[in-house]
Chain A
Amino acid sequence: DAKTTQPNSMESNEEEPVHLPCNHSTISGTDYIHWYRQLPSQGPEYVIHGLTSNVNNRMASLAIAEDRKSSTLILHRATLRDAAVYYCILLSINMLTFGGGTRLMVKP
């Protein structure tokens, strides 16, 4: 089964870009790559998703490797409100797989 691997934690300074990596070397052709973030005692919040091409939205950018075995979530200017646990999730029909997430800490 596909599974994602992320660093346990990362640190960033406020106002600087953050690149959160995710490895998914066993990804299948039908898996969409999703990113969510979770604040304490809340359900996760959608950030971005894609299949093959890089994606941009108002929250972040998603860079997907050409072989799709890895992806990077890019926060262009980290703010204190971006401090959360970020999950990289693979989603296809009736199946969902993910790993342990990355705890992002943002320093003022």
Chain B
Amino acid sequence: GAVVSQHPSWVICKSGTSVKIECRSLDFQATTMFWYRQFPKQSLMLMATSNEGSKATYEQGVEKDKFLINHASLTLSTLTVTSAHPEDSSFYICSAIRAGSYNSPLHFGNGTRLTVT
């Protein structure tokens, strides 16, 4: 079945540094990928919608200059948390949908746990 690989699965970084998270669709092309954030014991929160070859669409309240999204190919989207601070510590998840196929499941990555010290 279709698989989405997210890397790294966890990362610890120091305050002020930047962290890049990768989301790859392994056996299908994904025109659209979605990025989410989830704090402990809370619901998923959609951060942004990433379309291949164009700028990401950010949800209200999500700083686009802090959470940089690049979707340069049909199989890879990256989320960079710039100048990370402890309040950015969270579980970040991506999902992808097969190109041209909205009548098909979303495929989620297994998430990246970010801890900023």
Give A contacts to B, CB under 8 Å.
32, 34, 36, 38, 41-46, 49, 51, 85, 87, 89, 91-101
| Main DSSP-derived SS at the A contact region | strand
Bound complex: CA of A49 vs CA of B105, how far in Å? 7
Contact yes or no, A41 B107, CB < 8 A:
no
Check A91/B97 contact, CB under 8 A, given A32-B102, A41-B113, A96-B34.
Answer: yes
| CB nearest to B100 among chain A residues | A93
| CB nearest to B93 among chain A residues | A43
Give B contacts to A, CB under 8 Å.
4, 6, 32, 34, 43-44, 46, 49, 51, 57, 91, 93, 95, 97, 102-103, 105-111, 113
| Besides A41-B113, A44-B93, 16 new A-B residue pairs in contact (Cβ under 8 A), listed by A number | A41-B111, A42-B111, A43-B4, A43-B108, A43-B110, A49-B103, A89-B106, A91-B106, A92-B102, A93-B102, A94-B32, A94-B49, A95-B49, A96-B46, A96-B49, A96-B106
| CB nearest to B108 among chain A residues | A43
Contact yes or no, B44 A51, CB < 8 A:
no
Min C-beta distance of A98 to chain B, whole Å = 7
Chain A residues with CB under 8 Å of B97's CB are: 91
Contact yes or no, A43 B111, CB < 8 A:
yes
Contact yes or no, B102 A36, CB < 8 A:
no
Chain A residues with CB under 8 Å of B106's CB are: 34, 36, 44, 46, 89, 91, 96
